[in-house]
Structures are given as structure tokens and as C-alpha cells.
């Protein structure tokens, strides 16, 4: 029997309980900047060393973090559903939990890419990126992440996936970051939808059931229910 298609859109909140803070929860400033100000092409042009330092630090934290119960439950869904994870996260916790099909809308922090040739990329691991690290053509390496103000090339694929969904879960995202937030408008009318967010004031798209709980609690419960159906 053909498996039903279950699509997830995940954000920083799914990794919060693994110790990786969401930008908004981070609260304060980083070396006097808001993270949104560091994650831009303008910041990299102005002060590349500072931007590289910011990402080297975040990369180290990602490597120390472990997947939590929400990441693991999402992997379990594959027993019964054709699962596609669309994530805004730059960490690799879905992959380390065992999810097979993960689309990173905003790139992957463990990779560097060339400023000259975006197709040239390599895993930099804990070593990080230093000013002067270049691709063979001499282009300075930068984190392989999508910065604020840059295009999101994976969106076309993500829209196609959302349009084919029979079940759709939004986990740990405020739905304030565009264009990712537009995905909820691409879901077909017959699709069953859930939003997992512990914030009672979270924006709930029309047709979504709001599970007002932390991801590590709500996702395993929902998955258990769906595996029994």
C-alpha cells in the first residue's frame, strides 16, 4: 500500500530543547549585535572576521548538541508515512536522529561554500572557517547558510512538497520568517494540519490544530497517535 505523504516544516523551536537557542529566546546581543544583524551579506562585507566568529561559535554548539525526543519521533513517522522534513534550521539534528529526507531551506552550518562559486562546498566540522580560507579559485569561504535578504533556492521544491501533503505539521517556528512561512498557503484543502508551539499567542494558520506544548512532548504524542491510526 502506498504510504500517505507527511510533510513537516520545522524551525528553531524543534532544536531549542537540544540546547540550541532560537534567535528570539537568545534575548540579548552578541558582541553588541542582534543575531539578525550578523546574519546578512552586508555584515560579512563590513566585518567578515566577526561574522565568521559568530558562525564558528554556533557551529561548535551544534556539534555538541544531541537530537531530542521531537527529532526522534519525527524519524519514527517513516515507519508508516512517506515523510519529508522541510527545515529552516541550519543544524543537522534531524539527520542525526535518522530522518532520511531533509530539505534545508536556510542551508547547513556545518558546510562552507565559496563566495565566488556557490556550488563549491565542503564540510568544515569543528575546525570552522577563518579569514583567508579559500576555494581552489581563490574565493573566500563563507558559511553555507542563507542570510537575511538572500534568495532561498530550495523554496520551489518546498512548495511542491507542501502541495502534495496529506498531513502537514509545523513544529517550532513563529511563521514570521519569509518566504518559509508562505508554505502553509500551499497545502491542499484535504490535508490534516497541526501546529506545535508552546506559545499560547502563536499565530495559528487557518485549518490548523494548535498543540500548545513543547515539541519534545507534543510531537511524540502526536506521532504515537498517527502510527496507531
Show which residues are catalytic.
106
Of 21-29, 75-83, 111-119, 187-195: span binding ligand NAD (CB under 6 A): 21-29
Binding to ligand NAD (CB under 6 A) within 105-134 occurs at: 106
- Selected from 23, 30, 33, 159, the binder of ligand NAD by CB under 6 A is 23
**Closer residue to ligand NAD (CB): 53 or 106:** 106
Quick one: CA torsion of 223, 225, 226, 229, rounded to 10 degrees?
Answer: 160
143 part of the interface to ligand NAD, by CB under 6 A: no
Cβ-proximal residue to ligand NAD, closest one: 13
For residues 38 and 50, what is the distance between their CA atoms, to the nearest angstrom?
A: 8
13 part of the interface to ligand NAD, by CB under 6 A: yes
56 part of the interface to ligand NAD, by CB under 6 A: no
Binding to ligand NAD (CB under 6 A) within 164-223 occurs at: 172-174, 176-177, 196-199, 202, 214-215
- Selected from 6, 77, 91, 124, the binder of ligand NAD by CB under 6 A is 91
Residues that bind ligand NAD (CB under 6 A): 11-13, 15-17, 20, 22-24, 88-91, 106, 172-174, 176-177, 196-199, 202, 214-215
Amino acid at each position: 500500500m502506498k504510504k500517505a505523504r507527511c510533510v513537516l516544516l520545522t524551525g528553531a523551536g524543534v532544536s531549542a530543547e537540544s540546547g540550541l537557542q532560537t534567535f528570539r529566546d537568545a534575548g540579548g546581543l552578541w558582541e553588541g549585535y542582534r543575531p539578525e544583524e550578523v546574519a546578512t551579506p552586508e555584515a560579512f562585507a563590513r566585518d567578515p572576521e566577526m561574522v565568521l566568529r559568530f558562525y564558528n561559535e554556533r557551529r561548535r554548539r551544534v556539534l555538541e548538541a544531541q537530537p531530542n525526543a521531537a527529532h526522534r519521533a519525527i524519524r519514527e513517522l517513516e515507519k508508516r508515512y512517506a515523510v519529508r522534513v522541510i527545515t529552516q534550521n541550519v543544524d543537522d539534528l534531524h539527520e542525526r536522529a535518522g530522518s532520511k529526507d531533509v530539505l534545508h531551506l536556510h542551508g547547513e552550518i556545518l558546510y562552507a561554500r565559496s563566495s565566488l562559486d556557490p556550488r563549491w562546498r565542503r564540510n568544515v566540522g569543528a575546525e570552522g572557517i577563518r579569514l583567508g580560507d579559500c576555494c581552489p579559485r581563490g574565493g573566500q569561504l563563507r558559511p553555507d547558510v542563507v542570510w537575511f535578504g538572500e534568495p532561498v533556492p530550495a523554496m520551489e521544491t518546498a512548495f511542491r512538497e507542501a502541495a502534495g501533503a496529506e498531513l502537514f505539521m509545523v513544529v517550532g517556528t513563529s511563521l514570521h520568517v519569509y518566504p518559509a512561512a508562505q508554505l502553509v498557503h500551499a497545502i491542499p484543502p484535504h490535508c490534516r494540519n497541526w501546529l506545535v508551539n508552546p506559545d499560547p499567542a502563536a499565530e495559528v494558520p487557518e485549518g490548523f490544530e494548535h498543540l500548545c506544548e513543547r515539541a519534545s512532548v507534543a510531537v511524540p504524542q502526536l506521532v504515537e497517535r498517527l502510527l496507531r491510526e
